[in-house]
Amino acid sequence: MKNIENYTIERVYSFDDIDQNEWNDVLEKSTVKTIFQTYEWNRLVYEYTDHELVLLRVRLKDSDVVAFAPLCQKIQDDKKIIQLISAVRGDYADFILHNEHELVSIKLIFEYVFDNFPDLFKLELEKIPHNSPLLSIAQKISQRTIIADGATCPSLVFQNETFKTVSKKLNNKKMRYYKRRIMSMGDYVVEHHTDFEAIEPYLKNFYNQHAARWKNTPWPSRFLNNKECEFFNKMIKKLTINNHIIFSVIKLGEEFLGFHIGFSFKDRFIWYKPTYNIEYSKYSPGLVLMKECIDFAMSNNCTEFDFAAGNESYKGRFSNVVNKNHNISVYSNRIDWYKSRVRLAYNQLKQKIKSVLKISK
C-alpha cells in the first residue's frame, strides 16, 4: 500500500465547496464509471433527501484530489447508518476513486467514518457493481464487514454478438408480429430526444401514463407525487446539458404508446424508467419500445445496453451478460456484525432449501 502519510482526508459540508470538474476528472480515472457517480447526480439526489451530508474528499498532501465519498447519514429503526447518496435512487453506487489510489483512499474513508461517528451502527454501501474495488478491499480493511449479493444486472454487450445475432434477437417472430400489428393501426413514429427543450413538452404525458400503468397494482406510480415529478424535471434538465439523457417516445398517430427515460454514459445505454399505454397492452408496446431503444444504442455506437438492476424475464431474452450488484455492510460493533452474519447465513440456508425443494417437485 502507498504511504498513508502522504494523504489527507477532510469532510466537506456543502456541494458548493466541491469543484464539479475536479470530481468528474477523478471519475474518469475510476475503475467503476457510472452516471450515478457523477457530481450532478449526487448533488441533485442529496437535495431531495432529508439526511445529513457526509461528503468526504481524499487528496495527496498539497496536491490532487484522488477520491470522493458522497455519503449521508440517516436514522433507521433508531440506529444511525451512513450510506452512499447515489444508492437512494440510482441502480449502481460507489465511491469515486482514482484507480492508482484505491486501497489507501478506502482505508482513509473507513477510518474517518468510524473515528468521527462513534455512535454509528454501520456503514451501509448498497448497489455496489461487480467490478468495484470495494468488493476486494473492504474485508481487508475491516473484519467487521459483510458482503451480500444484491440485485441481478443483465446487459447486452454488443461486442459479444455479431450484428446478425443481435438483429435475430430483436426481430424474432413475436417482435415482428407486435410491431406489424401496431404499424397497421396508423402512423407509427419513433423519436429519441437529447435536448431538454424537446423533452419538456412530453413530461406531463409521461407522468400521467406511468400513473395509469401502475394504478391497479400494489406499486402505485411515484409520479403521483409532485415532488417526484419535480426531481425528474430537474434531473433531465441537468443531465441533458452533457447529453446524458435519451428520452424515447413511440407514437401511433396522436396516441402515445410508450416513453422511456434512459441514460447515455461512456458509450453505455442504461435502461432506466420505461412506461407504456395500457390500452395497447396486447400488442406489447413495452417490448417494442425496448427494441427501438436497443436499435438506437446500436446505431449510435454504444458498446453496451445495460438493463440495470432487476431480473425481469424480458431482460433475460435479450441480455448476454448477467452481473450482480453487492451490498457491503461494515459494522461499528463486533457483536452487531456477528448477529448480522448469523442472520445472513440463516436466510441463505432457507433460500437454498427452498430452491432444492422447488427443483425436487
The residue among 217, 207, 224, 261 whose CA lies nearest residue 91 is 261
Query: Quick one: pLDDT band at residue 361, thresholds 50, 70, 90?
Result: low
- Look at residue 52 and tell me whether its pLDDT is greater than 90: yes
- Look at residue 352 and tell me whether its pLDDT is greater than 70: yes
What's the pLDDT tens digit per position in 217-254?
A: 888 999 999 999 999 999 999 999 999 999 999 999 88
Query: Quick one: pLDDT band at residue 359, thresholds 50, 70, 90?
Result: low
- Look at residue 31 and tell me whether its pLDDT is greater than 60: yes
Residue ranges covered by each domain of the chain:
4-152+324-360, 162-319
Instruction: Please name the amino acid found at residue 231.
Output: F
Whats the size of the chain, residue-wise?
361
Task: Specify the higher pLDDT residue, 5 or 167.
Answer: 5
What is the C-alpha to C-alpha distance for residues 291 and 313, in angstroms, rounded to an integer?
15
Q: Mean pLDDT over residues 194-210, rounded? A: 97
Query: Quick one: pLDDT band at residue 278, thresholds 50, 70, 90?
Result: very high
- Look at residue 269 and tell me whether its pLDDT is greater than 60: yes
Query: Quick one: pLDDT band at residue 259, thresholds 50, 70, 90?
Result: very high
Query: Quick one: pLDDT band at residue 360, thresholds 50, 70, 90?
Result: low
- Look at residue 279 and tell me whether its pLDDT is greater than 80: yes
Specify the CATH architecture of the domain 162-319. 3-Layer(aba) Sandwich (3.40)
Domains 4-152+324-360 and 162-319 equal at CATH topology level: yes
What is the C-alpha to C-alpha distance for residues 294 and 279, in angstroms, rounded to an integer?
24
- The number of angstroms, rounded, from the C-alpha of 175 to the middle of its chain's C-alpha atoms is 28
Task: Specify the higher pLDDT residue, 317 or 78.
Answer: 78
Tell me the pTM.
0.91
- Look at residue 199 and tell me whether its pLDDT is greater than 90: yes
The pLDDT of residue 157: 93
Residue owning grid cell 400488442: 283
What's the pLDDT tens digit per position in 70-93?
A: 999 999 999 999 999 999 999 999
CATH assignment of 4-152+324-360, given 3.40.50.10310, 3.20.20.30, 3.40.630.30, 3.30.300.30? Answer: 3.40.630.30
The pLDDT of residue 105: 97
- Look at residue 289 and tell me whether its pLDDT is greater than 80: yes
Beta bridge partners of residue 260, listed in sequence order? 248, 274
Long-range CB contacts (< 8 A, 24+ apart) of 9-13? Answer: 9/56, 9/57, 9/58, 9/108, 9/109, 9/112, 10/56, 10/57, 11/54, 11/55, 11/56, 11/57, 11/112, 11/116, 12/55, 12/56, 12/57, 13/53, 13/55
Distances (CA, A) of 194 to 221, 236, 292, 357: 24, 9, 15, 49
Q: Mean pLDDT over residues 100-121, rounded? A: 96
The pLDDT of residue 161: 79
Rg (CA), the chain: 22
Mean pLDDT of the chain: 92
Run of H or E including 323: strand 321-331
The pLDDT of residue 317: 83
Lowest mean pLDDT among 84-93, 117-126, 296-305, 349-358: 349-358
- Look at residue 185 and tell me whether its pLDDT is greater than 60: yes
- Look at residue 326 and tell me whether its pLDDT is greater than 70: yes
